[in-house]
Amino acid sequence: MKSVTFTLLLMAMLLLPGCVPISIHPCYTEQSEITLPDLPGTYLDEDGEKILRFTEAEAGGYNMHMLDGDEDMGTFETHFCRAGDQILIDMLPVAGSIGVVDEWAQSMILPLHLVCGVELDGAVLRLTVPDYEAMVAELERDSTQVSHFRRESAVVFQAEPPELAAFFEKLFESDIERHTATFVRQD
């Protein structure tokens, strides 16, 4: 089940942009960005097959390199901010990296940011996405809560960072269903 959760999260992040929140703007600003000094390192999923490796980026933030077994999935530029009690990770696919991430980044006309919740508890890292259908239902219930548009089956947020972070704060404080992938630090 845990491998299935990671696979769904990975597919959502890389292959099915209609399954993870995507935005034309980041969810953070220079003023709202936070650092996670204990983050850099290598994290392995509970099945021992998926690896996330975080390193500090020269320009600020972190690089998140993904491996699935022997397959190099590629790299995301990541930045973090707070939305209430929730920490958000903003992931921007790095064009010119390797694998599926690069293919996806190369296919975009505009760079699109992926947004997930993150929790770092000692050696345990959890990445969480709201259930996509529940998020869409919430937006259909009140389409004025955050600036967005629909592109085929995907919702694309076009809100500026403060409005986007406020929406995710409200979303993560609600009882909306979530999907979480858990990793344990290896170094």
Please report the pLDDT score of residue 106 as a whole number. 65
Please provide the DSSP assignment of 117-144 as one string.
EEEEETTEEEEEEE-HHHHHHHHHH-TT
The total of other beta-carbon atoms located within 10 Å of residue 9's CB is 21
Residues of the chain with pLDDT under 70: 1-19, 97-109
Please report the pLDDT score of residue 98 as a whole number. 63
Query: What 8-state DSSP symbol labels residue 9?
Result: H
Spatial neighbors of 5 by CB under 8 A, at least 6 apart, are 179, 180, 181, 182
Please report the pLDDT score of residue 39 as a whole number. 97
Please report the pLDDT score of residue 4 as a whole number. 40
Beta pairing, strands 22-23 & 154-157: parallel
Please report the pLDDT score of residue 14 as a whole number. 45
pLDDT in tens, 124-174: 999 999 998 999 999 999 999 999 998 777 889 999 999 999 999 999 999
d(CA 61, CA 59): 7
Closest-CA residue to 185 (of 129, 123, 139, 126)? 123
Predicted TM-score of the model (pTM) = 0.86
Please report the pLDDT score of residue 21 as a whole number. 87
Amino acid at 116: C
